[in-house]
């Protein structure tokens, strides 16, 4: 048996993928569980990622004509009651506020008092409360479109939680728009899906499949739900963003009506779309390796870290001066339209420990600088997309000229690696036998593209049997085929996978 | 009786200040009440202000070494129970979550089910939950300082709410830092107070008095609380930001201990500091006039609005082309380190209505452009710090050269006007009689600077009698005097005022 190579993260992906995921997060100091059930604490390195995601998406939303606003955290029960009337066996896992006061009882124990006349629900999503406001704001076609986004926290009482992927409280953005025509609302729905796809590709370096959900997976109340689906390194799918065309359904339940230019009273057409801190989980699971986090350069809190290597005290001044000067020069460089984010790690600890710390934190470029490098006016450069030991000496001059290109290369390398993995683990299947035997291997099965013309019931049956769901009907797939489950010809293709 | 001049806002400030405030917010479309008791909806124009406030403060926090993180929305009851043990008659107006599920009963009415073993409180502030995390993160002096800020929503069950000034839910930032020494923690507390003062002066254009709170007004658990206090146009004070030196009190209740460099186990020293959406209320009340909102230019969602004036259809093309070209040129200009934010208002409505709309929204510079202006290659310029009718023709060339200067002048004019008002309404008083007779006039009394050596009890007595409180012991005041209430000599000066 070959001697196992030591990795910074144990277990490795191959050994235990879910545990590897937790350990990557821990080693990178991204987040941790809090004493509040299912709620996470997002630590500075993890929050820095989310801030960078927010900045880019916020700019993209504004460039597509949206504005931000803020709506209440609480939703009166009566608003959900309206929804419940249309949903059989309505039950919602959510945080319910029933009292407005804490008061010490005779034993000094704080007890909830001041019972509310109507319970309030901590928003799991804001369609109902935003719809209520929109119904007041929209009177005439001149008030349309409304193109509003909200950055907010939401709460869903999840039983089994996992950092970033599924937490009781999470951070997200929810866009809610209102339009005078169906055509315009559909266009908006697809435009924002495209924004998500572009963001995933150009910033997360994550290839996604864009498509429409089947009826079984549709957002309740939506006419159509679209999503972007990404493949994780365990070959499971993760839904990374959704965009819903709500038709006139929400306009009707919220009474969003307007007087058209022809003087006709009409219900408006609405959309909603969102992504969340789940994106951080996707980013981790697509790119990271057995040495820890690997960050796509455009979203990394730091692009470059400089690590002074000081073997003897006599070298300290020369190395430190050189590193500080180098940091100044790098801070003057750009990556895309952003100034370079450069950390100089002057902490008082062993060089090797520092280097591994930054490997585990996923910083795209590491520059080690020792006395010999100073003499040669050069740095020892490591790229996080390559093996930790695979480093090379680069002259300072070359570094300054090539750093933007290097970061661009890393982005491209991560994207291409993920795309290759996705393609290698996607199979076209045309028979039921092949379908079931492929998914019989729980560990190695990935995406299956297969013609589909089944009902929601049949979809549910298959999913109960195999734990596989239809992720979407991909939009970039033009071919059709014979559905192996129903025999229907010219059926559109569907993407099947196990999923998060 | 002179004929009353028509104003865009009715009532005027003089007629009914609180109602004027509500009408300014409504006319500017900043925010409105929601169907959820005490919770407001912040509309895009109001949220744009808050976004600009966030951007600037976030940069200032980062420049002073802080990072952002995110902690849970909920606080377990047991965390507040610890606090309650030290506070007599503890009672907290807060939102208490007691159930985790909504389920339809036999009549289809949604009922809270899934009662929690321990109630959760929606955070009114996060000292306890953050302290719990810090106690795990801090082991050694090498882990210090911790310099973390959080942007978040918080909830306090207020009975009487007013948009931006006092709402059940509001948005804020809360800084929470941990230090190895008292000296460093005190330095941090005062540094952040300075950040707030600088922000108020240089961005809000609001002069503030910086000082320490008396024991009666101190944050529970703090060793010392500092604040910045601003004078509104009704001469009342508004506390616009606070910074607390918490000593070792919170470290002791949260068990934040560290091993010093000498190998000694010690309790850490902590601080906390915050500002909220209340700042938007302060900004409105300090600068706005009887024609509506007046925005300090650096925070305005738009610096400049261009309003095409098209008397006849035949003018449309020439005027529109000219305005679009002008917008392009202005977008290429800067104000401070920011590109100019320029709106071209091409809506299909009467010119006069548009102009008044932008006056009420407080945009610093309005440019009206009609056919004559196009011929003369000029614009008709109105400044929001001057009367709405006080406009002048400026050549396009001069405009492009002077726009940054004009915005700077507006900022300065707003600041100086507010400072003059504050000074004119601040009185130095040395006798009890004068004190009581000054504050007998509820409408016209402003700030009083008076020597003070009284107890917390005496302060409470005075406040019960007069509705006046000590806002702070101003830090920039070096004089002392004889306290007229106690006769104590060499007493420090205190600022007394009615307040929000
Ligand atoms: Zn209905
Ligand atoms: Zn205690």
Closest CA of chain B from A124, distance in Å:
12
**Which residues sit opposite A344 in a β-bridge?**
A306
Nearest by CB to residue B70, choosing from A47, A99, A133, is: A47
b/e code B39-71 from CB counts within 10 Å (16+ = b) = bbbbbbbbbbbbbbbeebbbebbeeeebbbbbb
Q: Which of A454, A459, A462, A469 is nearest to A436 (CA)?
A: A462
CATH class of A297-422: alpha beta
**Mean pLDDT on A263-278:** 98
B334: enclosing H helix or E strand:
strand B334-335
CA A38, CA A154: separation in Å to the nearest integer?
A: 13
Q: Rounded to the nearest 10 degrees, what angle do helices A77-84 and A127-137 cross at?
A: 100
Give residue limits of the domains in chain A.
Answer: 17-95+123-287, 297-422, 428-497
Distance CA B471, CA B494 (A): 7
Mean pLDDT to the nearest integer, A166-182:
97
Q: How far apart are CA B218 and CA B241, in angstroms?
A: 13
Cα B392 from Cα B379, distance rounded (Å): 8
Check residue A1 and give its pLDDT: 45
pLDDT of residue B1: 45
- The predicted pLDDT at position B484 comes to 97
Give B39's contacts in chain A (Cβ within 8 Å): 72-74
Residue with more model confidence, A85 or A484:
A484
- Residue numbers of B between 141 and 160 with CB closer than 8 Å to A: 148, 152-153, 155, 157
- For chain B, give the mean pLDDT: 95
Of A148, A180, A171, residue with least CA distance to B43: A148
- CB-CB neighbors (< 8 A) of A80 in chain B: 102, 110
- Nearest to residue A483, comparing CAs of A447, A454, A457, A459? A454
Q: Do the Cβ atoms of A52 and A299 come closer than 8 Å?
A: yes
How many A from CA of A267 to the centre of ligand 1? 13
pLDDT greater at residue A403 or residue B444: A403
Percentage of residues in chain B having pLDDT higher than 90:
90
Contacts of B90 in chain A (CB under 8 A): 102-104, 110
d(CA B152, CA B69): 10
pLDDT tens digits, A285-296: 999 999 999 999
Superfamily of domain A17-95+123-287: Bira Bifunctional Protein; Domain 2 (3.30.930.10)
The SS3 of residue B83 is: helix
Rounded to whole angstroms, what are the CA distances from A358 to A53, A408, B59, B70?
21, 19, 25, 22
Superfamily of domain A428-497: C-terminal domain of ProRS (3.30.110.30)
Mean pLDDT of A54-80: 97
Q: If 0-12 CB within 10 Å is exposed, 13-18 middle and 19+ buried, where does residue B478 land?
A: exposed
Residues B123-175 have pLDDT tens digits of 999 999 999 999 999 999 999 999 999 999 999 998 889 999 999 999 999 99
pLDDT at position B194 is 98
> What would the pLDDT profile of B73-119 be if each residue is shown by its tens digit?
999 999 999 877 766 666 789 999 999 999 999 888 999 999 999 99
Do residues A244 and A125 lie in contact, with contact meaning Cβ atoms separated by under 8 Å? no
CB–CB of B112/B98 below 8 Å?
yes
In angstroms, the CA B94 to CA B123 distance is 8
Helix-then-strand count for chain B, H and E: 13, 26
User: Which residues of chain A are within 8 Å of residue B122 when distances are taken between CB atoms?
Assistant: 73, 97, 122
Q: Return the higher-pLDDT residue of B86 and A311.
A: A311
Residues 29-88 of A with CB under 8 A from B: 34-36, 39-44, 47-48, 50-51, 67-77, 79-81, 84-85
Query: Ligand 1: distance of its center to the CA of A84 in Å?
Result: 9
Chain B from 83 to 142: CB within 8 A of any A CB: 84-85, 89-104, 108-110, 112, 114, 119-122, 129, 132-133
Half-sphere exposure of B230 (CA within 13 A, CB side): 28
CA of A256 to the centre of ligand 1 (A): 12
- Residue numbers of A between 346 and 405 with CB closer than 8 Å to B: none
CA separation for the pair A326, B209 (Å, rounded): 43
* Helix ranges (DSSP H) in B362-440: 371-376, 396-424, 432-440
Rounded to two decimals, what is the model's pTM?
0.96
Nearest CA in chain B to A157: B100
Instruction: Determine the pLDDT at residue A108.
Output: 87
Partner residue opposite B93 with nearest CB, options A73, A100, A109: A100
Question: Rounded distance, CA A134 to CA A140, Å?
Answer: 12
Q: What confidence score (pLDDT) does residue B2 get?
A: 52
From the CA of A87, the nearest ligand is: 1
Residues of B in contact with A51 (CB under 8 A): 68
3-state secondary structure of B259: strand
Q: Residue B437: is its pLDDT beyond 50?
A: yes
Q: Collect all residues of chain A within an 8 Å Cβ-Cβ radius of residue B57.
A: none
Closest chain A CA to residue B117: A37
CB crowding A294-322: b at 16 or more within 10 Å, else e = bbbbbbbbbbbbbbbbbeeeebeeebbeb
The 10s digit of each residue's pLDDT in A29-42 is 999 999 999 999 99
Q: What is the ipTM of this complex?
A: 0.96
- Comparing CB atoms, the residue among B51, B90, B110 nearest residue A77 is B110
């Amino acid at each position: 048996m070959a001697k196992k190579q030591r990795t910074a993260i144990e277990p490795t992906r191959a050994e235990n993928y879910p545990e590897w995921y937790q350990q990557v997060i821990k080693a990178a100091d991204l987040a941790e569980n809090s004493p509040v059930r299912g709620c996470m604490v997002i630590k500075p390195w993890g929050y820095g990622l989310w801030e960078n995601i927010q900045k880019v998406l916020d700019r993209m939303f504004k460039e597509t004509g949206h504005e931000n606003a803020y709506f209440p955290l609480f939703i009166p029960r009566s608003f959900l009651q309206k929804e419940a009337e249309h949903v059989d066996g309505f039950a919602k896992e959510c945080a319910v506020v029933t009292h407005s006061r804490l008061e010490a009882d005779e034993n000094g124990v704080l007890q909830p008092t001041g019972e509310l006349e109507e319970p309030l629900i901590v928003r799991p999503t804001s369609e109902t409360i935003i719809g209520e406001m929109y119904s007041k704001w929209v009177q005439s076609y001149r008030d349309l479109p409304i193109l509003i986004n909200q950055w907010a926290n939401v709460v869903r009482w999840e039983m089994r939680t996992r950092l970033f992927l599924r937490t009781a409280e999470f951070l997200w953005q929810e866009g809610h728009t209102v339009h005078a025509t169906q055509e315009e609302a559909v266009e908006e729905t697809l435009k924002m899906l495209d924004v998500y796809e572009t963001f995933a590709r150009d910033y997360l370096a994550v290839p996604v499949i864009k498509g429409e959900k089947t009826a079984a997976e549709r957002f309740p109340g939506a006419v159509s739900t679209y999503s972007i689906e990404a493949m994780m390194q365990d070959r499971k799918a993760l839904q990374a963003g959704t965009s819903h065309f709500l038709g006139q359904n929400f306009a009707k339940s919220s009474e969003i009506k307007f007087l058209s230019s022809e003087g006709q009273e009409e219900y408006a057409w609405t959309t909603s779309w969102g992504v969340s801190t789940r994106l951080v989980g996707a980013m981790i699971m697509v790119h990271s390796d057995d040495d820890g986090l690997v960050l796509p350069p455009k979203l990394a809190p730091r692009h470059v870290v400089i690590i002074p290597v000081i073997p003897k005290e006599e070298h300290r001044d020369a190395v430190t001066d050189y590193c500080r000067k180098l940091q100044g020069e790098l801070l003057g460089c750009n990556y895309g339209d952003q100034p370079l984010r450069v950390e100089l790690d002057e902490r008082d600890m062993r060089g090797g420990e520092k280097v591994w710390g930054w490997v585990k934190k996923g910083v795209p470029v590491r520059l080690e600088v020792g006395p010999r490098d100073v003499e040669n006016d050069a740095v020892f450069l490591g790229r996080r997309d390559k093996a930790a030991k695979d480093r090379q000496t680069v002259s300072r001059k070359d570094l300054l000229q090539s750093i933007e290109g290097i970061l661009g290369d890393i982005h491209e390398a991560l994207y291409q690696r993920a795309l290759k993995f996705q393609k290698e683990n996607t199979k076209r299947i045309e028979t039921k036998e092949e379908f079931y035997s492929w998914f019989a291997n729980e560990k190695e099965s990935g995406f299956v593209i297969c013609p589909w013309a089944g009902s929601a019931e049949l979809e549910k049956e298959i999913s109960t049997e195999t734990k596989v769901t239809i992720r979407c009907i991909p939009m970039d797939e033009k071919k059709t085929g014979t559905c192996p489950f129903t025999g229907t010809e010219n059926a559109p293709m569907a993407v099947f996978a196990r999923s998060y």
